[in-house]
Structure 1
Amino acid sequence: MFSVLGPHVTNGLSVAIGLIGTALILYAIGGLTAAATAGVGILIATMADLPAQKHHKLQQMLPGPLLGVPLFLAMQLSHDSIQQQAMVLICGSFVSFLAMAWGKRGGPVSAGMMFSMVFALAEQPPRGLFEALHRTGWFALGAGIYVVYGVVSNGLLNGLYRNQLLADAIKGFAGILRTQARRFDGHVHAGGVMSDMLTQQAALADALQSARDLVLESPRTPARQRRAAILMALLDARDHLLACDLDIDALARQGENATVQPALRDALLFRARQLETLATALLLGRGAPAQPLPYRPIPEITAPDNSALREVIARVATIASEVDRMYALAHGELKADIAAVRETWQLFISATTWSWMPLRSLQGWYAPTLRYALRGSLAIAIGYLVSQHLPWAAHPYWVLATIVVVLRASLAQTLERRNARIAGTIFGCVLVMVVLAEHPAPQVVLGVIALSSAVAHAFVVRRYFITSVAATLLGLMQAHLLAADVHPVFAAAERIADTVIGALIAWGCSYVLPVWEKSSVPQMVQRALAAQSRHAELALVPASTTSPDLQWRLARREAYDSLSALVQATARSRSEPRAVQPALEPLETLQALSYHMLAHLTAVKSMLQLRRGQLDMAVAEPALAAAAAAIARALTGSEPAAPRRSRAATVDPSQARPPDMLAADLTPWLLERLAVSQSLAAQMRAAADLSSGS
């Protein structure tokens, strides 16, 4: 259900409809030759056609085609000279790969520029300047018409995209709930669960940011406000689940609770099913999802004096209340309260404007994007040279296209793309043989092309193997229509050979001027520590009507995002040669400690918000301020990583006790939790120093 009805599939189908529709319009206007050239421009424009905010869709789609037009023309004009064509390819590739300085936003722009040149190789040499300009005009017209279609279709589908991206995030959180439920299985190793949890949290951080970018845009209407409120409730539920992890640690140390733990596991699994039901309803575009599944309460506790057990149950109940709040918001039974983001939603979304600022990161020989551009240019140069000396040189662009899609900024991503590209091409060629063996009518072939274009676009980020299969179908079916006299077996053999050659070139060049993850780890570590320090500063502010909730939410997002980036970089480094890998053990320790720090601060923040009356604020307020200052000093390195006589350094975070909610005064618990947080900060600093080799 989630794979079929997700935003990527909706977007893929929209792209396929626009691609085929625009091509048919241009075919009716200018004929097959004009439509074929315009189709290249259409393909370039589709690369940036992704779910986006309504007011920023045009500036998302324009750069690729605008920059692709002069490159397409340059390739047309250099057709008569291999040397000139090689220079255009090499210089154009360098500029194209530099677009990755803008991060994820730069990806479609870079790909559009590259494929403008690569697809131009498939064109027959023009007969003079006029024909080159004529073709470029059709290229620009096809891209321009599709850009208009992309903006309009994104506006029409915006509400559906909001639902689907929100459903994606809810499903990701449901998966984390299921992982947390495994903690109650005695035979499951806690370390393995922690590793899975960190990986899932990193994926959830990406899904949440994608949801924020659309769901929080201009939340003016009641429907938009409901979706935004559901997203905010999801973020709060994530915090409660994080704090619950600490209490599960305490509960796991008490063997007598083994009989109750299966009930707690079932409770979390039940809430995960509820969230999946809600996500499915959102995917189906229903105005209101189905009612929550009937809840079966946890059996009565047999150890009423067990504060750890009471706290875990309280946490599960809080998560359940957030799930119920999501349902109530979806049904319109609860008014959306999103004052924190209604007027400041721009602060929570990704950057949407283009500027020259990212180019400043290219200064210096060791700049990662600069090295990536040089590496990519070298790979394209080698690929072009090799393609000119192949016995089947009629399709040299296949080699170059493979290099473009396989060569990534990191070795781990390049290896993943290499394997997926080769396997997908082979599987796609087999499918082509099966389809063409039945001698399908042209209408069937066109249908396969349309479906292939939808699938290729839909899964290009999510699962590239599927995209590779679909792209192979698309390419060979187009070749079959344009050159029916070419035997399909020979075309497939060419495609496989070109793919293998291109993938090997990309893989080999990934070792040229490499930028190993080890070089970026120190900056990522410092970003994570700074984010944790800022989050601690705002989380330890006593809750009141004047508390900086907006700033705290922004700090919380940065803390999660910085930890997610560090987790992903560590995972990528495992594919690199052992000699250049960073110190993985302290990095993993730092990630686990950061996760626990977020959990401790979340527990404290929750206590300040919900149980302020059970705290002696005359004692708590100076303790909170002192703890925030001590954490900042430890994380920023302004004091030794592990002071010998510090009380905080003598506290074992794994032994932290959960609060006894029946106690009249929870101040002792707060003071202990603050001491634990200071200890964690000191340990994080020590792990950070080890990971950076200092």
Structure 2
Amino acid sequence: MRAMSFLRRWSLALPAHGINGLSVVLGLGLVHLVCWALGGSVAAVAAVSGAIFTSLPDTPLAPARTRLRVATGALVGTLASVLALSLSTHPLALALLVALIGGVSAMAMAWGARAGPLSFVPILALVFSLAHPPTADVREIAHHALWTLAGATLYWAWAGWTSRRVQPRLRQLAVASAFRALGELLRARGQLLALPATDTPDAQTALTHWIIHQAALDEQIQAARDLLFEAQHRPAALRLSDALLQAIELRDALMVSELDLAGLGKEDTSQATRVALGEWLGSLGDALARQALALERAEPPPPVEVEALQARLRYSLGQWEGLAPNRLGHILLGRGEHLLKDLARLRAALVEGSGQTLPPRDELLRFISAEGWPLASLASQLHWHSPILRHAVRSALALTAAYALALWLPWASHPNWLVLSVAVVLRGNLEQTLSRRDARILGTLLGCLLVMVLAVTHVTALSDVIFLLAAGTAHAFVNRRYMITATAATIMALLQAHLMAPEGGFGVTERLLDTVLGAALAWGASYLFPWWEYRSIPMLAQRARRALAALTEEGLRWPEVARSELPMRLARRQAYDAIGALALAARRTAVEPEAVRLPLRTLAGLLAQCHVLLAQLSGIRRLLSYRQAELDRRQVEPALQAHGAEIARILRSHLEEELPQTWPAPPQAQPSADFNQWLLRRLTLAELAACRVAHVNHELARAARAVRRRA
């Protein structure tokens, strides 16, 4: 019983990527045992190689997606492996194949992030084939191809089976990750609020962290949608979906509250209140973290201490003398109580349901990520102004140069290592390339040291087991902490080379030299046909403006019972995605050469104004949803139509001259104002925010044109 309890606690301690890595280890072990028993050690090596490159697209996904992506990886990888081994005695033809595989793999990113793991499959299959001794024997090539395909097929079956088995756990962990990301966003907002000024380095750092947490939350929410919304026939998935939707509502409430928090100003007299409210937002983040921890441990969700949090909120507001009884104090208290209610509904959704009706399944399915490989997406990137095509040409040239250089080097016993180093370091933008470069070198150094320790202690007698464990570890951490993946991959490569040729030792020195040389080559290649972010950011900013205009048109309508909220929710998601893409581009341009870098302060201003407008629209929607009975439709509906049309026009303007000559001035809200007046004031504030978004966007466009003239 104690052993079973220990195993259960250990299994519950594994995160989603840990479960995925463990599944890969077990799958590779199964392939190794079966193929070794049927065909011997040579067959087992070929089969495990096929299983490894097939495992790359096996990530925490819904079962149907896992089957499709892993099957595609098995076919693409086997084809690349057969072609590479068939040309192994023809260096020139093999160099052309290296270029073709490098270019085609990079072009796969035309299908977006979902193609990331799959795009590396043919490169890894090529690397494994380069490690095989050159041969022109047709029977040997066929024998190797059959066992490679057998390993790939066996792993595909394993991946489909395990994906179905671990789905309930993956859904829990996905929602827990979304809760944690939302909690981190609350803490980041609290830290930003507590700072006494916005123009200091600390404030800029806090603002950057807040923007990063926004993008991270978007990613986690989308991952949870993809796992949950296809499983609405299961009661547990229904509860988790309800909780996820409540988390999204809590995020909207946080955005609305940020507008009122800005009313505190930055005077010294309000510093104590800002710090106290910042700490209170952090306590909400801690409460969300406790809900996430309960999900991770498969325990009942802990109760939300609403009364204690409410008392702490009142104490925080009391830090500014005279704030609690005045208008702003009442507003902030109301916003805080709305956050607490959303948090309580989130917890209730995990236990018995929030009491709110979930959208129909067909509507929820509209929010999952796209799947499949449409040729139209690929065709749209076949022009020189496409960053994906430029990266494909860059990758083809860099990998070919790496292969040619590997043949000429005095230590050319493992040309595949240099090709692999270039392939894993060279990314589609400079920021990721620099990150991969550093992590690759440090990870390789650590991996070489570990292999030397294993050799001295004679633990290498368990090389097969260590190799499989390293493969699973590398798979689990590739998108989490790449230095760990680089360390595990180094152990894999050195053990694989030792298993194939024990008399050659471990090749530690060669591995280090190839890694440093490959990282340097990839770093240099990243400046070949570059696509700097000043080219993309204006287009991303336009996309964000269009998304906000669409959200305005959908959100600024009088609510009707018969009207579906699906268009508004889709528009809101597209707005979040567009702003998130702009935030990631701003992060990437920060590491680019100064001559081609856009002003970071202008970018931060645009992002901040986009969030202000998004918050204003969310506040209006919540007023229409929760206070509809207290609003005068005859007064409000014409105002919604007029302001909505003007905001959309401003956001879609192409010239700065199209902006209003006089920006709207919102009236001062009176303490006795009814909800109609509050809504009209919010509409004016939303129009003002739209003017600021458009103005900063035009300022950014001018900066981009100036950079283009200099470049």
1:467 aligns with 2:485: yes
Partner of residue 284 from structure 1, selected from 293, 297, 302: 297
Partner of residue 493 from structure 1, selected from 502, 509, 513: 509
Residue 141 of structure 2 is matched in structure 1 by 132
Give the CA RMSD over aligned residues: 2.3
Residue 682 of structure 1 is matched in structure 2 by 691
CA shift for structure 1 position 5: 3.0
Distance 1:260 1:525, change over 3 A: closer
Aligned-partner SS, 1:366: coil
Distance 1:3 1:449, change over 3 A: farther
Distance 1:334 1:583, change over 3 A: closer
Residue 552 of structure 1 is matched in structure 2 by 568
Residue 617 of structure 1 is matched in structure 2 by 633
- Does structure 2 conserve the Cα–Cα contact (< 8 Å) formed by 1:68 and 1:116? yes
Partner of residue 388 from structure 1, selected from 404, 407, 411: 407
Partner of residue 524 from structure 1, selected from 540, 546, 555: 540
TM-score relative to the length of structure 1: 0.93
Partner of residue 479 from structure 1, selected from 483, 490, 497: 497
Q: What does residue range 245-644 of structure 1 map to in structure 2 within 5 Å?
A: 245-252=258-265, 260-261=273-274, 263-286=276-299, 288-293=300-305, 295-296=307-308, 297-298=311-312, 299=314, 303-332=323-352, 334-335=354-355, 337-338=357-358, 340-440=359-459, 442-443=461-462, 445-488=463-506, 491-637=507-653, 640=656, 643=659
1:156 aligns with 2:157: no
1:501-551 CA deviation, whole Å, 9 max, x = no partner? Answer: 111111111111111112212221111001011111122112332344211
- Supply the distance in 1 between the matched residues of 2:425 and 2:272 (Cα, whole angstroms): 52
- Name the amino acid aligned to 1:530: R
Distance 1:601 1:377, change over 3 A: same
CA shift for structure 1 position 125: 2.2
CA shift for structure 1 position 668: 2.3
- Does structure 2 conserve the Cα–Cα contact (< 8 Å) formed by 1:456 and 1:470? yes
Deviates more, 1:48-57 or 1:639-648: 639-648
- Supply the distance in 2 between the matched residues of 1:583 and 1:263 (Cα, whole angstroms): 33
- Does structure 1 conserve the Cα–Cα contact (< 8 Å) formed by 2:470 and 2:489? yes
Distance 1:608 1:191, change over 3 A: farther
Residue 89 of structure 1 is matched in structure 2 by 98
- Name the amino acid aligned to 2:302: A
- Supply the distance in 1 between the matched residues of 2:324 and 2:682 (Cα, whole angstroms): 23
CA shift for structure 1 position 642: 6.8
Distance 1:641 1:16, change over 3 A: farther
Partner of residue 64 from structure 1, selected from 64, 73, 98: 73
- Supply the distance in 1 between the matched residues of 2:135 and 2:411 (Cα, whole angstroms): 22
Q: What does residue range 83-122 of structure 1 map to in structure 2 within 5 Å?
A: 83-122=92-131
- Supply the distance in 1 between the matched residues of 2:12 and 2:595 (Cα, whole angstroms): 39
Residue 58 of structure 2 is matched in structure 1 by 49
CA shift for structure 1 position 109: 2.0
- Supply the distance in 2 between the matched residues of 1:398 and 1:150 (Cα, whole angstroms): 28
Aligned residue pair count:
682
CA shift for structure 1 position 669: 2.3
- Name the amino acid aligned to 1:15: V
Deviates more, 1:43-52 or 1:315-324: 315-324
- Name the amino acid aligned to 1:151: G
Aligned-partner SS, 2:373: coil
- Name the amino acid aligned to 1:681: A
Aligned-partner SS, 2:153: helix
Partner of residue 230 from structure 1, selected from 243, 250, 254: 243
1:40 aligns with 2:42: no
- Supply the distance in 1 between the matched residues of 2:285 and 2:384 (Cα, whole angstroms): 49
- Name the amino acid aligned to 1:383: A
- Supply the distance in 1 between the matched residues of 2:293 and 2:600 (Cα, whole angstroms): 38
CA shift for structure 1 position 305: 3.5
1:178-226 CA deviation, whole Å, 9 max, x = no partner? Answer: 1222245354645543332112101111111111111211312221110
Residue 241 of structure 1 is matched in structure 2 by 254
- Supply the distance in 1 between the matched residues of 2:137 and 2:215 (Cα, whole angstroms): 53
Distance 1:224 1:680, change over 3 A: same
Residue 5 of structure 2 is matched in structure 1 by none
Aligned-partner SS, 2:408: coil
Distance 1:478 1:640, change over 3 A: closer
Deviates more, 1:418-427 or 1:323-332: 323-332
- Supply the distance in 2 between the matched residues of 1:196 and 1:511 (Cα, whole angstroms): 28
- Name the amino acid aligned to 1:484: P
- Does structure 2 conserve the Cα–Cα contact (< 8 Å) formed by 1:5 and 1:284? no
Distance 1:501 1:658, change over 3 A: farther
Deviates more, 1:48-57 or 1:183-192: 183-192
- Supply the distance in 1 between the matched residues of 2:502 and 2:614 (Cα, whole angstroms): 62
- Does structure 1 conserve the Cα–Cα contact (< 8 Å) formed by 2:29 and 2:468? yes
Aligned-partner SS, 1:219: coil
1:413-432 CA deviation, whole Å, 9 max, x = no partner? Answer: 11111111011111111122
Distance 1:186 1:362, change over 3 A: closer
Higher relative contact order (CA 8 A, sep 6+): 1
Residue 177 of structure 1 is matched in structure 2 by 186
- Supply the distance in 2 between the matched residues of 1:241 and 1:341 (Cα, whole angstroms): 26
Distance 1:5 1:317, change over 3 A: farther
- Supply the distance in 1 between the matched residues of 2:34 and 2:496 (Cα, whole angstroms): 18
- Does structure 2 conserve the Cα–Cα contact (< 8 Å) formed by 1:533 and 1:632? yes
- Supply the distance in 2 between the matched residues of 1:560 and 1:383 (Cα, whole angstroms): 40
- Supply the distance in 2 between the matched residues of 1:645 and 1:362 (Cα, whole angstroms): 40
CA shift for structure 1 position 147: 0.7
1:214 aligns with 2:227: yes
- Does structure 2 conserve the Cα–Cα contact (< 8 Å) formed by 1:614 and 1:664? no
- Supply the distance in 2 between the matched residues of 1:480 and 1:80 (Cα, whole angstroms): 23
- Supply the distance in 2 between the matched residues of 1:583 and 1:277 (Cα, whole angstroms): 39
Distance 1:337 1:690, change over 3 A: same
- Name the amino acid aligned to 2:246: A
- Does structure 1 conserve the Cα–Cα contact (< 8 Å) formed by 2:557 and 2:641? yes
- Supply the distance in 2 between the matched residues of 1:600 and 1:567 (Cα, whole angstroms): 19
Residue 7 of structure 2 is matched in structure 1 by none
Give the fraction of aligned pairs with identical amino acids, expressed as a percent.
32
Distance 1:607 1:215, change over 3 A: same
CA shift for structure 1 position 433: 1.9
